Structure 1
Amino acid sequence: MPPRLPRAYPYNPAMTDTAAPLRLTTGPAMLELLPALGGTILRYDWHGVPVLRPTEGMPTAARVTACYPLVPYSNRIADGRLAFGGKSWPIARTADNHPLPIHGLAWQRPWTVTRQDATHVLMEQRYEVPEALAPEAAVPWPFPFHATQSFELGEDVLRMTLTLRNTGTTEQPAGLGWHPYFPRTPQTRVRAQVSHMWINDDQSLPRERIDTGGAVDDGLPVAQVDLDNVFDGFAGTASVAWPERGMAVDMEAHAPLGHLVIFTPPGKPHLAVEPVSNMTDAFNRYALATAAAHEQAHELADLAPGVRQDRATGTLLLAPGAQAAATLTLRPRRLR
C-alpha cells in the first residue's frame, strides 16, 4: 500500500486564490494561462477553434485544464517509493484519483510570473524539501529544484520551454514534460514517430515492451482504442488531426523528450498526447539497473554541462547547480 500524504501536504488542494487568467493574443491565436493553478494552460485557440481541450469555467484543480507541466517527473512511481543513489524515500500521493504518486509536483503548486508582454510569459517555481513530520513520513519530493516555464505565442505557433535546475548539493534524478489534452472527435487520428510501446500491468506500470510495427506512424483512430501507455523511440514529431473540423496540430518535441504517452480514456471527449523525457517509473528502474551492474555499463548521453540522460529509461541525472531544458512546439494548420 503506497504511503498517504501527511496532513501538511494535501494533494489536489482546492485553489481558489487563482487570480485572473493571463491572456495572450496575436493574429488568429489566443492563449489563456493560469500561473497560480499549477502553471496551467486554460485554452489555446486558433481562428476561434480550440486546439487544446478548453477548460470549463474557472477551475480549482489543474487536472481539468487544457495542459499542465510535468516536473520533476512524469507518470507514476511504483509502490509510492523512490530509489536513487543507494537510498530510498516514501513519496507522497499527488492526486486523489490515483493510488500512486503521479506527474510530479509542479502542477500542484503555484507559479510566479517573472516576465510578461503581449505574446510571451515567463514563470518560475521553487521547491525546498520540507522536514519530515516523522521517520519514514512521505514527502512530496526529496530533492530541491528551481523550475521555469515559458510560453511564446505566434500567429501559427505556440512554443513552450521548461527548465529544471538542481538547487541541492547532491546529484538528483529528474524528468520533464507536458500533459496537453486535445479534443476527441469520432474521426480524430494521432500520428507519432515511435518504435515501441510498453504494455501495462494492473497498476498502469510498464510490464512488457513490444514493437509498434508502425501502427502509430500510420495514424491511430483514437475513438476506437483505449490507451494509457508510454511509447519509446519517440523521434520528436507527432500530430493530432480532426478531419471533420478540417484542422490538425503538429507537435515538435526536442531532446530530452524521447518518450511519448498516449492517453485515450473510454467515453471521454478528450485525449492526451504527452511528450516526456522519462518512461513510467524511470528512476526506480534506473536505480535497479545501476545496482545490478557498474554505471559504466549504462548508455548515458551528455545533454548539457552537468546533465546526463540514461537512454533506456530517460532518467535525467543533474549534478548540483546543473539545469536541464526541454522545448515543445505546437503548430495548428488547416487540412487540405
Structure 2
Amino acid sequence: MSDEDITLTAGDAEVTVRPGNGGRVSGLRVGGVELLRQGDRFGCFPMVPWCGRTRDGRFRNGATVHRLPLNAPPHAIHGTARDAAWRTVRKSADEAVLTYDLVEPWPYSGRVTQQFTLGEDALTLTMAVETYESSFPAQIGWHPWFNRSLGGADDQDVRLDFTAAWQEERGDDHLPTGNRVDPRPGPWDDCFGMPGGVDVTLTWPGRLELKVTSREEWVVIYDEQSEAVCVEPQTGPPDGLNTRPRLVTPLEPLEATTTWTWRRL
C-alpha cells in the first residue's frame, strides 16, 4: 500500500497518520479542536530504536561499540524512524498498521510495527520491534507535542498532573547522572519513574481532560516551550541503550503500548 496520509474517525474524534513523514500522528481533533501542535516536526512521532539522547552517539552490544550520527550534538537523539517513510500494511475507518524496516545508520536489521486504534474517547498506540537475525538493545517511545492552549475566548494553558516515584537527576549534558532524586517542580526536560505504569493527566481548564497511560514505568516530561508540552512514555530512560538496555531477540520482540483517553469538562 502507499505512504499517503491516513484519516481515522470514531464519533467526533479524528486522527491523521502520516506514514511518509516518520509514521507520526500529525493531528488529533476532538469535536473539531486540534490537540497536537501542527508542523512537519511535531504531532506525535515514534521514538525507535532508541528514545531521547544516546550519550556521544555511542552504545555497546556485548563487546561491540557502535556509533550513531550526532543529530543533537554531542549526542544522538530520538532514534531513526521519525525521519523515515513507513509502509501502510492495513487500514480501516478506525485503525491503521504501519511497518518500517531498520536500516543504516542503525547497525542491525529488524522490523518496527505500529498500530493506531481510535475509539470515540481514546487513541491507543502500540509499537513492536522484532528481528530474525542478530539480537540488539533497543527502546520504544512516543513523543507527542500537545498544544499548550486550545484557543478560544476563555482559553487557559494546559495543566499537568502526575505522581512520580522519582526523578532522574539530570546533568549539564541533559542526560541522567545515574542518581534518583525526589521529583522537583518544573519547568522540565526530565525523566520520571512510575513503577506502577505511566499515568499523566493533561487538563485544559473548562475544555478537556486527557490521560496518557502506559504499562511502561518511564516518562519524559518536556514543557520548556511556549507552544506545546510533551508527555513521552518510553521503555527506558534517556541513554537507556547504555544504562538499561532491553534486548530484542529472534524469540522475543520488544513491545509497548500507550493510550490517550479524553473527556470533555
TM-score (norm 2): 0.90
- 1:56-75 alignment to 2 at 5 Å? 56=39, 59=40, 64-75=41-52
Aligned residues: 256
Matched, 1:102 2:66: no
Counterpart amino acid of residue 143 in structure 2: H
TM-superposed deviation, 1:321: 4.3
Q: Deviations over 1:175-200 (max 9, x none)?
A: 11100111114542212242111222
Equivalent in the alignment of 1:307: none
Would you say the 8 A contact 1:146–1:167 is kept in 2?
A: no
Alignment CA distance shift 1:91-1:230 (3 Å): same
Equivalent in the alignment of 1:288: none
Distance 2:94 2:241 in 1: 36
Match of 2:100 among 120, 125, 131: 125
Q: Deviations over 1:65-106 (max 9, x none)?
A: 21000111101111221122122111112x3x5531111111
Distance 2:53 2:15 in 1: 29
Matched, 1:178 2:181: no
Counterpart amino acid of residue 137 in structure 2: P
Match of 1:259 among 190, 206, 218: 218
Would you say the 8 A contact 1:152–1:160 is kept in 2?
A: yes
Distance 1:144 1:334 in 2: 44
Distance 1:111 1:19 in 2: 7
The percentage of counterpart residues that share the same residue type is 29
Q: Deviations over 1:48-81 (max 9, x none)?
A: 122322x24xx3xxxx221000111101111221
Counterpart amino acid of residue 182 in structure 2: D
Distance 1:143 1:152 in 2: 29
Counterpart amino acid of residue 200 in structure 2: A
Distance 1:71 1:80 in 2: 14
Instruction: Please list every run of at least 4 consecutive aligned residues from structure 1 whose deviation after the TM superposition is greater than 3 angstroms.
Output: none
Match of 1:242 among 184, 187, 204: 204
Distance 1:115 1:144 in 2: 22
Equivalent in the alignment of 1:316: 246
Stretches of structure 2 that go unaligned for 5 or more consecutive residues are 150-155
TM-score (norm 1): 0.72
Structure in which a larger fraction of residues adopt helix: 1
Distance 1:269 1:126 in 2: 33
Structure with more relative contact order (C-alpha pairs < 8 Å, separation 6 or more):
2
Match of 1:197 among 167, 184, 196: 167
Structure in which a larger fraction of residues adopt strand: 2
Counterpart amino acid of residue 194 in structure 1: A
Would you say the 8 A contact 1:77–1:102 is kept in 2?
A: yes
Equivalent in the alignment of 2:191: 230
TM-superposed deviation, 1:21: 2.1
Distance 1:172 1:88 in 2: 12
Stretches of structure 1 that go unaligned for 5 or more consecutive residues are 1-17, 131-139, 286-312
Radius of gyration: which is bigger?
Answer: 1
Would you say the 8 A contact 2:192–2:220 is kept in 1?
A: yes
Counterpart amino acid of residue 234 in structure 2: V
Would you say the 8 A contact 2:55–2:74 is kept in 1?
A: no
